[in-house]
Structure 1
Amino acid sequence: MPGLRAALPAALLLLSSFPPAAAEQYPWPQAPGVMHPLNPNSREAAWAARTVLHYTNYRTASPSLLWVLHHVEKATVKVGGAITLGDIKYYLQFTIRDYIHEKHVGSCSATVLYLKNSPPQVRAKCVHARDKKQIQEADYRLYKYLQSQKKPITANSIPDNHGNIDRDHLSLLALAKVGSSDIMWKKSTEHVGYFLAQVKVVKQQIRTDDAVEFNFIVLLHKMPTQEMVACNMNVVWTLNDPIRVKYTCAPDNHELEDGSGQDSGSAAGTSHETKGNF
């Protein structure tokens, strides 16, 4: 899609414009249990909204229905009470865009509770203009196509180093977005956010059951530190069921080796292959 190709380099340039993080501090008084208004244009509000979208993109489990943040309209925040002082809860209203077609498609109301030692807890209600039947039909066509393959689909560098994406690889990118959303949701904090920057390698695993399985190596852009986090990710998709994701991530700014010796069925063991059509 021309729009997606054009937007990717600009988006990565925008990400690189954020300054490195200083000491972790909040732009509001930290009175426990009190609601505080938050600037909708603040970094904290945007990261909380993106945490919601990582969660919903993973839980929706549809490569044909993926959202990215358009604009935060309203945000408030509350620090936990005396017992849970480290917990931060955001209340958000924001608009969303379609990930592939880059159109404004709807809005969400959500809460995000950042916990000390657990993934963020998300509650969200989103409305969108996409036709549900068309989405289901698109997922079905993609799923049946992937399931029918006798030779594994393989590809490298989506997008390439110039930000270009082969049209045939858009659905591979979308499936990687669904799987990596699980990683990014779980790793997000009120101070740290993630974007899917690139699928370095993808290889299909041919199965004899009803599931579709892919091994990915993905690069996640960590904000605001600007570090790239490489993750081996295994995605198993059965239509109308939750997508199952297994992953291992290298330390920040360290590449994962192709084939780390883990058992078959884990996210490791992916090998570089020649690019295949999709």
Structure 2
Amino acid sequence: MATGDLVPTHFPARRAAQVALHYLNTRHGSPFRVFGLQQVHKATAEDVGTGGRKYSLDFSVTDYGSSGSVLRCSADVLFPRTEKHSPPDVQLRCEGLQQISSSPEEEAFYQKHISPDSAVSALDIPDSYGYISQDMKPFWHLARVAASFIMLRESSENTEYNMAQVANVSQQETSEKQLMLKYHVLLHDFVSQEIIHWKLLSSWSPDGGVRVLETEWQPKCPHATKPPSAN
């Protein structure tokens, strides 16, 4: 693979930026805040001895939640060289990110859905026409954030993951002051064009953020025992 300056629009730079994006969403995503990659402005790559391969990036992201704001970010993404798959290591800096805090929308959403009488369940978000209702958008955003934990963990130099669809979501009863959501998500790997199914259990509150409590890969073949990254 090439070292030195990379073409920002080409796959190696975009793939590394996508990994940094997953990291950003795991740290700062919410029902009304989820980030998408807008543009890679500059990228370089270097081999770090036996430690792996490091990508240094300058890129911008868009908040596709309620604000629509654009942030300029820089990141170092290290893909380790190990016998078994290891998640990439990400060091990220974004201008203005520390100014983002919990919003009144998030608090209202939390108060509306924390009651067991308001338990939510839904199928196929978006539907076959690409439509997501306004009521379901916060749950779609939470799925994107929760799936980012999986996509970050499973990423390598040979993948580029995005979430394609929520097959189903159901709110779970809990004694904790958290929204507890069970998801079945479909992840798309741009490189292999494979759709990969995962089930996950996640929680969210305005103070606690998103946590992923359980993940379970759903194999297409009944004889498969490991997700693609473990092969």
Residue 125 of structure 2: aligned partner = 158
1:220 aligns with 2:187: yes
Amino acid at match of 2:59: F
Q: Does the 8 A contact of 2:168 with 2:184 survive in 1?
A: yes
* Cα displacement (A) at 1:63: 2.4
Q: Distance in 1 between matches of 2:67 and 2:45?
A: 29
Task: Name the SS for the 1:58 alignment partner.
Answer: helix
Q: Which residue of 2 aligns with 1:267?
A: none
2:74 is the counterpart of 1:109:
yes
**What residue is the counterpart of 2:171 in the other structure?**
204
Greater than 6 Å deviation, 4+ residue runs: none
Q: What is the CA distance between 1:56 and its match in structure 2?
A: 1.2
Q: Larger strand proportion, structure 1 or 2?
A: 2
Q: Does 1:90 align with 2:55?
A: yes
CA gap of 1:95–1:217, structure 2 versus 1, over 3 A, is same
Residues in 2 aligned to 1:38 and 1:137: alpha-carbon distance in whole angstroms? 41
Find the counterpart in structure 1 of residue 47 from structure 2.
79
Specify which of 10, 13, 18 is matched with residue 45 of structure 1. 13
Q: Quickly say closer, same or farther: Cα 1:221–1:92, change in 2 above 3 A.
A: same
Rg larger in structure:
1
1:192-233 superposed Cα distances (whole Å, 9 cap, x missing partner): 011110001000002222121010100000121111001111
- Mapped partners of 1:165, 1:240: distance in 2: 26
- Structure 1 distance, partners of 2:59, 2:192, is 25
Counterpart AA for 1:234: L
Q: Does the residue aligned with 2:117 lie in a helix, a strand or coil?
A: coil
Q: Does 1:190 align with 2:167?
A: no
Distance 1:255 1:171, change over 3 A: farther
After superposition, give the CA deviation of every residue in 1:103-156 in whole Å (9 maximum; x if it has no partner).
4512101110111332111111112589735x4322222222221242421000
- How far off is 1:242 after superposition? 4.5
Of all paired residues, the percent bearing the same amino acid is 32
Q: Does 1:124 align with 2:92?
A: yes
- Pairing 1:68–2:33 present: no
Gapped regions of structure 1 (runs ≥ 5): 1-25, 30-35, 257-278
Cα distance in 1 for residues equivalent to 2:86 and 2:97:
33
Structure 2 counterpart of 1:99:
64
| Aligned counterpart for 1:142 among listed residues 106, 109, 131 | 109
Q: Secondary structure at 2:132's aligned position in 1? A: coil
Task: Calculate the aligned-residue CA RMSD, in Å.
Answer: 2.2
| Count of matched residue pairs | 218
- Tell me how far apart the structure 1 counterparts of residues 106 and 88 of structure 2 sit (CA, whole Å): 28
Structure 1 162/125 Cα, relative in aligned 2: closer, same or farther at 3 Å?
same
Q: Secondary structure at the match of 1:150?
A: helix
Task: Report the TM-score, using the length of structure 2 for normalisation.
Answer: 0.87
Contact 1:105–1:130 at 8 Å: present in 2 too? no
Shift of 1:61: 4.2
Shift of 1:165: 1.0
Question: Tell me, what secondary structure is at the counterpart of 2:185?
Answer: strand
Alignment of 1:173-188 (within 5 A): 173-188=140-155
Residue identity in the other structure for 1:50? Q
Distance 1:160 1:255 in 2: 25
- Between the aligned partners of 1:148 and 1:60, the Cα distance in structure 2 is 25
Residue type of the alignment partner of 2:6: L
What are the Cα deviations for residues 77-106 of structure 1, in whole angstroms up to 9, with x where unaligned? Answer: 11121x33xx11100000111224694512
